[in-house]
A = this chain, B = another copy of it.
Amino acid sequence: MDRDQTDKDDEASAHERPTLKTLAFMTGLGVTTVSRALKDAPEIGAETRRRVQLVARQIGYRPNRAGVRLRTGKTNVISLVLNTEREIMSFVSDIIYGVSEVIADTPYHLIVTPYSRSQDPLDPIRYLVETGSADGVIISRTQPNDPRARYMLERGIPFATHGRTDMGLIHPYHDFDNYAFAAEAVRHLAGIGRRRLALLTPPVGLTYHGHTVNGFADALSEVGASEVPFNTVSIDHSIEQIRMRTAQLMRRDDRPDGFVSSAAAATLAVVAGIEDAGLKLGRDVDVVSKQSSDLLHLFRRELLVVNENFRLAGSELARSVLGLIGGAAPGSLQSLSLPGEVVAYQG
């Protein structure tokens, strides 16, 4: 009959949020038992377990995140680390939704951790790790020798990268096969008679820059076409810069008759540059571009596109991180997404 002691907060007052104590009081059990019953521990009787879970469901019990986090260190948080200046727009939106889809029926929350141009990309990672703010991290703009991946690997922080590294270390990743993309693009252009091709590359330094460049180069020699160097800009540059450089290039005698572009927004600039030079898409030059949403064909129907699904990337990355947290082998959490066909406009 020691009830009078603890009743103070459980019995009275309209509707506080229920805790284990509330459940313990309602079921007549101890908090420990309740805690265990809720997580299906083996030393709890079958009927007790059911009873506790029933009551918990009825009154809408939700474990207090701060309590769990303080006691166990588990945050139930996945952090998506993004560059606030250079990230592709549709990428941000789609990857967030992709991640959300996967964590929707888990206890995980998604926090967005931004960093800006001026900062060391390692800064936000250090912050997350030092403050223990997340159980898992997703990073993009991955480099062949990526200090962030190395850092987290050293400290055993679960993470997944969008894009591969090349450090001889195994970690989860999701990547789009940009080698295949660039190669397919070149083959397609060669197939329609283009022989002098230029490549608007991904940002120099990122892993997929190398992949793209290699796919482009290998396919060039395969089909016997030649490259017109276009190294003054990458898709990271401003629309204006890309446009200006493209126009410059297209006014030369040795101008390309085909382009491969690694991003949709950059392609808009390339086309503008082409037209600035008085040339016509589809007649004087063809352009194959990646895109993540179906907009380029509205822009110019002569464009040739290859689709990259960022929402899928988000889902895969989230699945990987959760898998890793769950104890799966990092090597089993790597995925590569193959590009579809180069597709022309179909009215």
Identify the A interface with B (CB < 8 A): 17, 60, 62, 64-67, 69-70, 75, 77, 82, 84, 87, 89-90, 92-94, 96-97, 100-101, 104, 109-114, 130-133, 239, 243, 265, 268-269, 271-272, 293-295, 298-299
Contact = CB atoms under 8 A, between A and B. Distances in A.
Number of copies of this chain in the oligomer?
Answer: 2
A67 B75 CA distance: 12
Contact of A93 (B60, B92, B295): B92
Given A66-B66, A66-B70, A84-B100, A133 B109 contact: yes
A198 B45 CA distance: 69
A96 B272 CA distance: 29
A39 to B, nearest CB: 18
Contact of A298 (B66, B89, B94, B268): B268
Contacts of A97: 84, 114
Contacts of A70: 64, 66-67, 70
A296 to B, nearest CB: 10
10 contacts: A17-B131, A65-B133, A66-B70, A66-B75, A92-B93, A96-B96, A104-B114, A112-B112, A265-B295, A268-B299
A101 to B, nearest CB: 8
A126 to B, nearest CB: 10
A293 B84 contact: no
Max chain B Cβ within 10 angstroms of own Cβ: one of A65, A70, A269, A298: A298
A239 B92 contact: no
